[in-house]
Amino acid sequence: MSILVTGGAGYIGSHTVVQLLEEGHEVVVLDNLCNGSREALHRVETIFGKAVGFIEGDVRDRALLDRLFAGHAIEAVIHFAGLKAVGESVEQPLAYYDANVHGSLVLCQAMAAAGVYKLVFSSSATVYGPDAPVPYMETMPRGSTSNPYGSSKAMVEQLLTDLCRADARWSVALLRYFNPIGAHPSGQIGEDPQGIPNNLMPFIAQVAVGRRPELAIFGDDYPTEDGTCVRDYLHVMDLADGHVASLASLEESGVHIYNLGTGQGVSVLEMVTTFERVSGQRVPYRIDPRREGDLAAFWADASKAERELGWRAERGLEAMLRDTWHWQRNNPAGYQQS
């Protein structure tokens, strides 16, 4: 299949591009590089030994999209492009709604004009909201969202649901990711956040490599086994495989919702101790107060994806942490050093 990957120079996008190429798909990447790296795609080309079509530009640029669809026989779109920092979204709601909601809207308009009706959208477990019981299941309703980032994901899910209801030519996969971590086993590509990492895994990796003195653990008084928060971490290569598998669901019209997670909860402290064991590095930490908006514990029921797509997360926690460390050790400053 010939696939447009928006945001393909970012973390999840670049790993997905590798797996799409492995499966024999043709790929064109559109990315404005606001949080992605051209170097990531050069390295994808090295891993795969084949050039990747790349267009630098914005998903909100309708004229550019029209030219792109006119020039390439695109059959499906995987839409990663967007902004993802929860705290920043509270400070800059307009930027988030513009990139995430307006961006998706313009993309759908351009797709419809070009006669392309197959779309895979990067959603998030955050759409279940704070009151959903665990494990989260796709049959549960979307809950309330407490920040513009989460609201933008819920809005786009609604927009795409309405679109499918109105026009049976559309088929859309809403993939609700849990907590992707890890890196390609080659150590060539991985997560390279700009500035101070918001998320746990890159923070641990940067402490281990000596870029930061210690990890702050946000709260050890949650109602969990060791008092720290529990999440469902999944390997980014498994997540990439989930995108490839989800393409099959686009054969049938309508909305197809899938949780992509392992179904296993892991605490922050378990993450630290397992990382130390796998990497042989010490990760000094202190306990800080809870971070506003954090939930105590959630994980996926990922059985629908296994039943319907034949997908399940294959790589365990040790592989996730080993591959993260391999990437970080080889690239202490991320992509910047090359």
- Residues engaged in binding ligand UD1 (CB under 6 A): 84, 86, 124, 126, 149-150, 179, 198-200, 203, 215-218, 229, 231, 268, 291, 293-294
Closest to ligand UD1 by CB, 92 or 199? 199
Q: Which of 276, 284, 263, 267 is nearest to 324 (CA)?
A: 276
Contacts of 316 (CB under 8 A, 6+ apart): none
Number of residues that bind ligand NAD (CB under 6 A): 28
- Assess 58 for contact with ligand NAD (CB under 6 A): yes
Given the DSSP bridges, would you call strands 2-6 and 76-79 parallel, antiparallel or unpaired? parallel
Closest to ligand UD1 by CB, 140 or 248? 140
Examine the residue annotation and report whether 149 is marked as an active-site residue of this protein: yes
- Assess 102 for contact with ligand NAD (CB under 6 A): no
Of the candidate spans 57-65, 134-142, 281-289, 318-326, the one that interacts with ligand NAD by CB under 6 A turns out to be: 57-65
State the amino acid at position 58 in one-letter form: D
Q: Which residues pair with 232 in a beta bridge?
A: none
Residue 86 interacting partner from ligand UD1, ligand NAD, none (CB closer than 5 to 8 Å by kind)? ligand UD1
Asked if residues 115 and 155 have their Cβ atoms less than 8 Å apart, the reply is no
Residue 142 interacting partner from ligand NAD, ligand UD1, none (CB closer than 5 to 8 Å by kind)? none
Closest to ligand UD1 by CB, 16 or 171? 16
Q: Which helix (H) or strand (E) holds 209?
A: none
Residue from 99, 116, 201, 207 binding ligand NAD (CB under 6 A): 99
* Tokens describing residue 317: 């926690």
Spatial distance between the Cα atoms of 184 and 237, rounded to a whole number of angstroms: 7
Spatial distance between the Cα atoms of 284 and 213, rounded to a whole number of angstroms: 7
Closest to ligand UD1 by CB, 183 or 215? 215
Name the residues annotated as catalytic: 149
